[in-house]
Amino acid sequence: MTIDMSQFFQVFFDEAEELLAEKEKLLLGVDVSSPDPEDLNAIFRAAHSIKGGASTFGLTDMSEVTHILESLLDKIRKGEMSLTAEHVDAFLAAKDVLKMQLDGHRLGSAVDLDAVGDVRMLLQSFVQEDFKPKASPAPALAPIAQATQPEEKYLHCFRVSFKGVKDADLTLLTSELALLGSASSEKNGEGQDSIVLQTNGTIDDILAVCSFIVDADNMLISEEKMLEASKAKELTEDELGYGFFEPIESMFPPEDKPIVEQAKSESAPVHDSNNNSSKNSVKKEAEKNAAGHESTTIRVGIEKVDQIINLIGELVITQAMLTQRTQDLDPVSNERLLSSVAHLTRNTRDLQEAVMSIRMMPMDYVFSRFPRMVRDLAHKLGKKVEFVTYGASTELDKGLIERIVDPLTHLVRNSIDHGIEMPTTRVENGKGEVGKLSLSAVHQGGNIVIEVCDDGGGLHREKILAKAKQSGLNVSDSMSDPEVWQLIFAPGFSTAEVVTDVSGRGVGMDVVKRNITQMGGVVDIRSARGFGTTITISLPLTLAILDGMSIKVGEEIYILPLGFVVESLQPQSEDIKEINGKGRVIKVRQEYLPLIPLFETFNIEPKHRDPANGITVIVEVDGRKAALFVDDLVGQQQVVVKNIESNYRKIPGISGATILGDGGVSFILDVAAILRSVR
């Protein structure tokens, strides 16, 4: 029976990428002088699984690299070769090559064949070198199995039988399976070629090794008694729950998951192992773990989640309409109806929060990218850096988490390049030669606060001011430290004396701030000379839902994002001053703020033209304040944000739109853009 394997490619791509990320994480944390056996086994399993899956799908370029990588890892984990820093560098380079090959198959991106060849030669040179074991070598690690067992004591004995296998392939299969334990080839009871394997591994491991050479549907795996391995009778398929497998059943199972999937397909019928009465305790435990795994996670396309969120948004709008329609009803005669509407409101709010949480992703998705970058950049600059993260489980909306990667990358690079000093300089200043760089994330109210903190030299006030004056910026020596620190976000600003491929061109920090501001966030800097710098980013948890203040200008209602609002007041005539050719300002507690009449900004006929008869709303963006002149305050509400640019076009001063309870459309103000236009 022929099965279209292309439908499973995406599963392989996703799982291979996860395995590569896990492999890199383990390599970056491994102690070269005394590696943890479990870490080495986990790294080996990752390479082993990728090789098996790549072979199943015919991706020979990946399977060739992982085959050499697996051989080298196997020598190290068995204590036949000592792990060195050079090995770790080679393994990380192999990870990069495998990721490049994976992207080439998945996205069609270019693959540097020279880089692939260099990595293969490097790995092969390590495999072929005659490394002498240590004087007191570590005990051999149990292949694949989690428990540490003496190499000669195996937990299982399997017979692997083949249909139509060549003698040369049988020899190769025997040598490959020998990596898992003690293997010998012979004939089974039916005269078929078979290999008897004593191992601490699992059936999944056997399948991964054999699928590199022979199709899974041409092999049969059965378990035999340890003491009578060569004479034991083969168990039937019904007794084992395993048989001659269709390709679908060998799809890259997780480590503890049985080969047979728990789902049934008409095109590829499989055995339901839950109905078997096998006494294999290892297999039962694996099924238990797999069942638990499948019951707690599910892969869903992001477009489906977005569709649900949009529908929930429409439900919220409909609920708001019902609430508004019932406000004028007699509460006595319509008590049951009003109670039902109130109940619907509560359920809608709970449903909205539950659905929005589906789009939330842990910050570890972002944080996990940096250990490798920090390691490579610190090595390149000749610095020693300890990188730590806090709050990796803190969640943020997927849309924001993807957009925060680039700003954080620039901030981390700056901390290593500009912040943390060279080891000799740190020692001269009474510090340890290893600098500390930390990334943290924590929820505060409706926001997430992300901090990039280093214990380096801190910002140099005088140097920044001198550079700002040289660049023609309007600065003075009386500026406060926070105001001086904000100067580094000016376009083209850089205090680096030498332009390198890391920094010095003055491009980046202005983009960082602009991107964060566009996400509705703010950036703050705290620094102490000689003690380090902390950059704090505050972001809303999601861009799909917004807490806003409804304001009225003429007959139009606008939504003002509540995060920008400081206060609202009704000014006195004497507090409003006219500046020739510069507009008007308003005095608020000894501070003069620019006054922005929104009816002029949007060319609307207002209800009031005199600010003393209307309302002013004080807003703040990036430490700068302004007063918005409006006719009335309508109220505060939570609104569902609709993208107006994709449905119409970009409108100056408008960031989006929402639908009100009466069915009307209301624009959401882009406060940052409005303040920039005034400046």
Domain 5-128 CATH class label: mainly alpha
Q: Which residue has the higher pLDDT, 300 or 435?
A: 435
The angle formed by the CA atoms of residues 344, 350 and 353, to the nearest 5 degrees, is 140
What residues does 159 pair with on adjacent strands? 196, 222
CB 564 within 8 A of CB 617: no
CATH of 362-540, one of 3.40.50.11260, 3.30.565.10, 3.30.565.60, 1.10.1760.20: 3.30.565.10
Distance CA 576, CA 587 (A): 6
Other beta carbons within 10 Å of 480: 8
604-618, pLDDT tens digit by residue? 888 888 888 889 999
Write the CATH number of the domain with boundaries 156-262+277-296: 3.30.310
Distance CA 187, CA 165 (A): 12
558-615, pLDDT tens digit by residue? 999 887 888 999 888 888 888 876 788 888 888 888 899 999 888 888 888 888 888 9
Q: Quick one: pLDDT band at residue 386, thresholds 50, 70, 90? A: very high
111-124, pLDDT tens digit by residue? 888 888 888 888 88
Q: Is residue 522's pLDDT more than 70?
A: yes
628-676, pLDDT tens digit by residue? 999 999 888 778 787 777 777 778 888 888 887 777 888 988 888 888 7
The segment(s) of the chain belonging to CATH 3.30.565.10 are: 362-540
Among 381-385, 495-499, 523-527, 542-546, where is mean pLDDT lowest?
A: 495-499
% of the chain at pLDDT higher than 90:
9
pLDDT for res 129: 65
When pLDDT is averaged across residues 25-31 and rounded to a whole number, the result is 86
User: What is the 3 state secondary structure string of 282-343?
Assistant: HHHHHHHHHHHHHHHCCCCCHHHHHHHHHHHHHHHHHHHHHHHHCCCCCCCCCHHHHHHHHH
Distance CA 228, CA 250 (A): 29
CATH of 302-359, one of 1.10.287, 3.30.70, 1.20.5, 1.10.10: 1.10.287
Other beta carbons within 10 Å of 364: 16
Distance CA 587, CA 580 (A): 17
Question: Whose CA is closest to 205, among 168, 176, 166, 162?
Answer: 176
Distance CA 628, CA 606 (A): 13
Other beta carbons within 10 Å of 672: 20
CB 37 within 8 A of CB 54: no
Q: Is residue 525's pLDDT more than 70?
A: yes
3-state secondary structure of 1: coil
Homologous superfamily of domain range 545-678: CheA-289, Domain 4 (2.40.50.180)
Q: At what angle do helices 370-381 and 405-414 cross, to 10 degrees?
A: 30
Length of the chain counted residue by residue? 679
Q: Is residue 239's pLDDT more than 50?
A: no
pLDDT for res 212: 65
Q: What is the pTM of this model?
A: 0.55
Q: Is residue 437's pLDDT more than 90?
A: yes
The segment(s) of the chain belonging to CATH 3.30.310 are: 156-262+277-296
What is the torsional sign of CA 158, 161, 167, 173? negative
Q: Quick one: pLDDT band at residue 622, thresholds 50, 70, 90? A: low
3-state secondary structure of 5: helix
Question: β-pairing, 532-540 with 447-454?
Answer: antiparallel
Q: Quick one: pLDDT band at residue 314, thresholds 50, 70, 90? A: confident
Question: Whose CA is closest to 408, among 484, 319, 515?
Answer: 515
When pLDDT is averaged across residues 225-249 and rounded to a whole number, the result is 40
Q: Is residue 11's pLDDT more than 70?
A: yes
Residue whose entry in the numeric block shows the structure tokens 């699992």: 202
125-158, pLDDT tens digit by residue? 887 764 443 333 433 333 333 333 334 467 888 8
When pLDDT is averaged across residues 259-280 and rounded to a whole number, the result is 37
Question: Whose CA is closest to 55, among 173, 194, 184?
Answer: 173
When pLDDT is averaged across residues 422-441 and rounded to a whole number, the result is 92
CB 230 within 8 A of CB 196: yes
When pLDDT is averaged across residues 161-172 and rounded to a whole number, the result is 78
Q: Is residue 274's pLDDT more than 50?
A: no
Distance CA 78, CA 76 (A): 5
